[in-house]
Chains A and B, each alone.
Chain A
Amino acid sequence: MKMLKNSSRATLLATGLAAAMGATAMPASAAEMVVMAVPTFLTGAGAPAFGVPARNGAEVIIEAINKGTLPAPYDKSGKGLAGRQIKAVIYDESGGGVKQVAEFRNKVQKQGVDLFVGYISSGTCAAITPVAEELKMLTIFPICGTPRIFEEINKTPKYVFRTMGHATADGVAEALYVKANMPDVKGYTGINQNYAWGQDSWRDFDLAMKQLMPSVPVSDKTQWPKIFSGQYGAEISALMLSKEPLVHSSLWGGDLEAFIFQGSARGLFRKKQLLFSVADTSVYRLGKKAPAGAILGARGPYGIFAANIDTPLNNWFRKVYQDRYSVPPVGGSYQAAQGVLAAKFAYDKAAAANGGKFPSKDQVIAALEGSTFQGIAAPVHMNRSNGHQAATKHMIGVLEWDKEAGGPIMTKVTEFGPDCVMPPPGVNGTEWLKGGMKGAKC
């Protein structure tokens, strides 16, 4: 018994020592790596459409950065971020803003994270922005769409960046597309989820339409289903009874797919012209069930819109992604990958300016601020909100089924330059729309 006790004590002591040694050893090895937190939806309703594709896209790029196998224009930039390997900490964004803020603090203060590249939900980004600034933590939002991040929540960001355009660009590009392709449209209505994203999307599209096509009437019965409601019978009836032929929708994920199933069964897409802001996330999964003839966007050259962009980086990304996950990359995959590329660009540029030495956080921030870097399929201009908000080209087109290729394709695609669809630097998006989109270079 005594021996057993002694043995147990010895085991405990050894375990304690090993743990202590491990704990002291960790910072030394961590110091040679860049710890990148990648929060994304791994569970819940946001996972299939955005979260998991975003994780996959980030994984592909991080792995290539660490191995130094990125194609041009990153083929001569060496391995890692400024020579250091990325240690990715991928974790779940589910649970709401309060939980994510607590997790953010935990990752910064206890787990030694060097930067964040992630967050999908506009709500989470809104909650994280002030905390990231408070904790002086370099944070790159690759996806969340609300314009409020830098227009209301923090107008003078230092540590927070967003590497894609926001919802205002969607609304403007969609309205421009409608004006060019449906000049005689007799009216428009909408179905958007009743929360920040849905409301912002409709507001910006509606404001842009009022500027570009002021004589076209808007319905006074636009639909506002609850997010994740999944049942749209009454809404589809109301849309079919409405006299407006054009229906705008920013539905996404499971809600979008349920709406498409239920709408298709009732002939909605034969009777109305649908315009979907972010339906690219579902077109590959839905296959032939995706509504051919619908107008689609993806807030930039992402997903199906990048299918025919012939650059070494894009071709490589699509192939590696397809081979690895057996599906083509969608918008979220591109956008998350683009966020990681922003970090790669900024660390390498800062190191070069620092005489080849590993840069400080402030040097990395200075390198990214106001810069232009190559995204997966197009250049990304960090030239809004003091150099912290990206502007990219935008693409809108019509979805069709390619019988020969046996897959969905985009047709009648129109490209819009970043300075055409994004408000000019320093200008609030809503005010810009209300003021007639002055300074837009289309």
Chain B
Amino acid sequence: MQELIVILVDGLVFSSYLFMVSVGLTVIFGVMKILNVTHGAFYAFGAYMSATLIGAYYNTDLPEFGGFLAIFAAAIIVGVFFGIVLERGLLRFLYHRDEHIIVLATFAMFLVLEDVLLMIWGTDPYYAYEPMALLGAVDIVELTFDVYSLTLIGLAVIVALGLWLGLTKTKWGKLLLAVIFDREISQAMGINVTVVFTVTFVVGSIMGALGGAYIAPTISVSPGIGVEVIILSFAVVVIGGMGSIPGAIIGALLVGISRAAAVHKFPEIELFVIYAIMALVLAIRPEGLFAPAQARKI
């Protein structure tokens, strides 16, 4: 029983991590139909900015818990800046081009931003463990868990709820849904699709950066952290269905809990589990679990 509960807790923590790092990718794809490889760079920049701000904050005499604000500030700074610069400066010129061209353009931007990151922060790792140390640890079924990682579950729930409420209960959300459903008809009905695209890209960028910013206190923030995230994010959104937020939730839960179970019961297949689930879902339902079937336009 203890092991089962531990698997569940570990699974939920990892699922929350997966959801946080993949939700930005799925939001952007859902509205803009762009497979945004630059997402990995948003994650990395979010982590570096978070580590920098946290480090700067804890060098002051300000209240300790204020350090958490640095995490969210980092995500907003990175997301807004790169969201606007990339969408206005690059992507808007490519919307009429083939989807593959846009993927390649975002991949190129990812590589450029990786080098920009090295130019700004260099190759030395950055540490920002103070928030994790501050929250301490708690025992669950006689096993110690750090509270900071558990808060990731709460953050993922808040983000998921926020996105759901924002999409279904606000005017902006309804405009977004209309654009998701049919971009051309939305434009014909007077919706300013250009603004919708920019706002969506910025929100998706903030989500990507928030993933990195929140994870930063638990890792060594060092070059290359964005690459791994892209692979994991793609696996999660492909399983859940490209562009589906419920899909991202279910995809993250499926992968997270299966992986935790594998780690505890059959650790040698841990690496295999994520991709086995993806292959299985693609074999049965190629569009993913939650993506609606696409009607062909004639």
Contacts of A222 in B (CB 8 A): 267
Q: Is B137's CB under 8 angstroms from A43's CB?
A: no
CA distance A265 to B265 in the complex (A): 24
Identify which of B10, B146, B228 contacts A228 (C-beta below 8 A).
Answer: B228
| Interface residues in B230-263 (C-beta closer than 8 Å to A) | 259-260, 263
| Interface-side segment among A27-35, A235-243, A293-301, A418-426 | A235-243
Considering only CB atoms, which chain B residue lies closest to A191 in the complex? B267
Q: Is A51's CB under 8 angstroms from B263's CB?
A: no
Q: Is B146's CB under 8 angstroms from A262's CB?
A: yes
Considering only CB atoms, which chain B residue lies closest to A268 in the complex? B144
Q: Is A221's CB under 8 angstroms from B267's CB?
A: yes
The answer to whether the Cβ of A257 comes within 8 Å of any Cβ in the partner chain is yes
Contacts of A312 in B (CB 8 A): none
Contacts of B132 in A (CB 8 A): 261, 265
CA distance A51 to B118 in the complex (A): 14
The answer to whether the Cβ of B86 comes within 8 Å of any Cβ in the partner chain is no
Instruction: State which size class the interface on A falls in.
Output: 35 or more
CA distance A224 to B267 in the complex (A): 6
Q: Is A257's CB under 8 angstroms from B219's CB?
A: yes
Q: Is B148's CB under 8 angstroms from A47's CB?
A: no
CA distance A438 to B254 in the complex (A): 50
Which A residues lie at the B interface, using CB under 8 A? 42-48, 51-52, 194, 221-226, 228-231, 233-235, 237-238, 240-241, 253-254, 256-258, 261-262, 265-267, 285-286, 289
| Interface residues in B191-220 (C-beta closer than 8 Å to A) | 215, 217-220
Contacts of A286 in B (CB 8 A): 127
| Interface residues in B2-20 (C-beta closer than 8 Å to A) | 2-3, 6-7, 9-11, 13-14, 17
CA distance A253 to B118 in the complex (A): 17
Identify which of B125, B143, B220, B259 contacts A237 (C-beta below 8 A).
Answer: B143
Q: Is B228's CB under 8 angstroms from A233's CB?
A: no
Contacts of B127 in A (CB 8 A): 257, 261, 286, 289
Mostly, the B contact residues are helix
Please encode chain B, from 132 to 171, with 1 for each CB lying within 8 Å of some chain A CB and 0 for all others: 1100010000011110110000000000000000000000
Q: Is A45's CB under 8 angstroms from B218's CB?
A: no
Q: Is B267's CB under 8 angstroms from A261's CB?
A: no
Which of A228, A234, A238, A240 has the most CB atoms of chain B within a 10 A radius of its CB? Answer: A234
Q: Is A254's CB under 8 angstroms from B220's CB?
A: yes
Contacts of A256 in B (CB 8 A): 220
CB distance from A213 to the nearest CB of B (A): 23
Q: Is A234's CB under 8 angstroms from B143's CB?
A: no
Contacts of B125 in A (CB 8 A): 48, 254, 257, 285
CB distance from B270 to the nearest CB of A (A): 6
CA distance A199 to B101 in the complex (A): 39
Q: Is A266's CB under 8 angstroms from B144's CB?
A: yes
Known: A233-B14, A237-B10. A261 touches B263 (CB 8 A): no
Contacts of B124 in A (CB 8 A): 48, 52, 285
Q: Is A234's CB under 8 angstroms from B14's CB?
A: yes
Known: A42-B123, A261-B132. 17 other contacts (CB 8 A): A45-B224, A194-B271, A226-B270, A226-B271, A228-B224, A230-B228, A234-B11, A241-B6, A253-B222, A254-B125, A256-B220, A257-B127, A257-B220, A258-B220, A262-B149, A265-B218, A266-B137
